[in-house]
Amino acid sequence: MSSFTTIDLTQTTPRSSPQTLSASGSISRRQYIAHNWSIDLYDRRIQDDFRDLGTLEGIPVPLRLSRASVNLWLAGRHGFSLNYVDQQDNLRSASQVASFSYNSSWMNGRITTYLNLFHDYENAESDGAYFSVNIGFGRGASAYGGASRYGDERTRMYGASRPADYDRGGFGWNLSAEEGNLDYQRANARLEYRGKRADLSATATYTGGESEQTSAAFDANGALVWMQGNVLATRAIDDGFALVSTRGLADIPVLRENRLFGHTNRHGYLLVPDLPAYRTSRISIDLLDAPLDVTSGADRLPANPRGYSGALVEFPIARIQGATLVLVDENQQPLPAGTRVTLLDSGAEALVGYDGRVFFDSLQADNRLRAETPDAVCDVEVQFKPADSMRTLGPFVCQLAAAP
């Protein structure tokens, strides 16, 4: 793949006021992109009277900027890059910088390394180098080390961290240290806890060298939400939020964008405090961990709150008031598999399975059932209590009679 672009900026507007913009110059760019290598050539030249929005804020624009880069990737794990930049800020100021970088990954990405070398042809004192190593461990923990040189300045860096899970919360920590010229030292330690009701953190910092200093800080932030007659403490709300309701059912797993966020409280509520406003987010529940007698007409619903406002996401959860009934004939033999059984009060129908078992998901205190076989019809009465939901009840004798 290759491309070539040239933009002419020769059109100039009258400069009748300081706010008038003018353009005079040209931009050209050529790119070659292959499977494992690429070349990028860029050149921009403008006149001294060039004006844009940046110049109105006092930001200078280089009169000339030429850039060339060559990139190479090997085996998907090793990347090489060679860059050259030639820039002229004004008639007296110019810079020419060449750099080389190498990045790689090892042990299936658990270890990454990065090296960068650069040379300034106009100012040798600005030459420098940077090298770093990052090692990843389990459960999100990682450690790094690095060293850099810029002119006569030397810096070494070390650190390790494990962030708290953004959705489910928990503890996280961070340790970092730096040292350099003139006995410069700096160390930082941070412990954080991300809870359902607030975010807490404690930080200690030490700075050595010419001015030794030690400081410590503690930070806590959260929010209170009143919704659906409930006052809920939660993490800080910076945009929109949603109140998830499972109609009083506690300890139901709630997922946001297919990631476990938390479980509903004892009243069947869970507040999701950090949803993007005016955008649809997917909220779902996992009923695999719910009691067997729980069902829902939907396990995924959208949430689209306004800015700094909440949306109610209520799942149509209900408890099944049903049971498996064992039906037998007058000889205590199970009714044949495939026998159609009708719940006379509601008209619901079901088929008998093995061992005379038939299941109805909605039973009342007193239930009348009728079973029909090719040769006979029988009736049976069943008493049901809510405590017997999702149990196997019986056997119940079905009084057979000759079919009409």
Which of 17-50 are b and which e, b meaning 16 or more Cβ less than 10 Å from the residue's Cβ? eeeeebbbbeeeeeeeeeeeebeeebbbbbeeeb
From 319, 354, 375, give the residue that closes a domain: 319
Cα–Cα separations (whole angstroms), residue 53 to 39, 61, 268: 30, 11, 54
Place of tokens 């006052």: 231
User: Tell me, what amino acid is at 90?
Assistant: N
Instruction: Tokens 């009258």: give the residue.
Output: 14
Please indicate, yes or no, if residue 298 is contained in any of the structural domains: yes
Q: Is residue 334 part of a domain?
A: yes
Nearest to 258, CA basis, from 372, 160, 167, 358: 167
Cα separation, 341 vs 382, whole angstroms: 13
Domain boundary among 197, 216, 235: 235
Domain boundary among 198, 213, 235: 235
pTM for this predicted structure: 0.65
Q: Is residue 212 a part of any domain in this protein?
A: yes
| Assigned domain for 84 exists | no
Q: Please give the angle made by the CA atoms of 162, 164 and 166, to the nearest 5 degrees.
A: 135
CATH number at residue 390: 2.60.40.2070
**Over the stretch 63-78, which tens digit does the pLDDT of each residue have?**
788 999 999 999 878 9
393 and 351 together in one domain: yes
44-69: average pLDDT: 73
Query: 131, 83, 127, 75: which is closest to 105 by C-alpha?
Result: 75
273 shares a domain with 223: no
Question: If pLDDT is split at 50, 70 and 90, which confidence band does 355 have?
Answer: very high
- pLDDT tens digits for 253-305? 999 999 999 899 999 999 999 899 999 999 999 988 777 778 888 999 999 99
Q: Could you tell me what percent of the chain has a pLDDT over 70?
A: 88
What gap in Å lies between CA 209 and CA 213, rounded to an integer? 9
pLDDT in the model for residue 228: 87
């060298």: which residue's tokens? 209
Residue of 75 and 354 predicted with greater confidence: 354
Residues 248 and 294 in one domain: yes
302-332 residue pLDDT tens: 999 998 899 999 999 888 889 999 999 888 9
* 168 vs 369: which has the higher pLDDT: 369
The average confidence (pLDDT) of the chain is 87
Residues 245 and 312 in one domain: yes
256 with 219, same domain: the answer is no
Examine residue 361 and state whether it is found in any structural domain, yes or no: yes
| DSSP notation for 257-323 | TTEEEEE--TTSEEEEEEEPTTS-EEEEE-GGGS-TTEEES-SEEEE-PPTT-EEEEE--EEE-B-E
Contact residues for 374 (Cβ-Cβ < 8 A; gap 6+) = none
Residue 92 lies in a domain: no
Phi, psi of 249 (to 5 degrees): -85, 120
Region 365-372: mean pLDDT is 92
> Do 170 and 188 share a domain, yes or no?
yes
| Residue pLDDT, tens place only, 182-199 | 788 999 999 999 998 899
Whether residues 276 and 345 share a domain: the answer is: no
Q: Where are the beta strands (DSSP E) in 107-237?
A: 111-120, 128-136, 142-150, 153-162, 170-180, 185-194, 198-208, 213-227, 230-234
In angstroms, the CA 394 to CA 367 distance is: 13
| C-alpha distances in Å from residue 255, one per residue of 224, 242, 249, 261, 312 | 22, 12, 16, 5, 15
Report the chain's C-alpha Rg in angstroms: 36
On whether both 307 and 242 belong to a single domain, the answer is yes
Please choose, from the candidates 385, 348, 394, the residue with its C-alpha nearest in 3D space to the C-alpha of residue 364: 385
Burial class (CB in 10 A: 0-12, 13-18, 19+), 229: exposed
Is 143 inside a domain boundary?
no
Q: Find the mean pLDDT for residues 350-371.
A: 93
pLDDT above 90 (res 4): no
364 found inside a domain? yes
Residues of the domain holding 252: 237-319
The total number of structural domains in the chain stands at 3
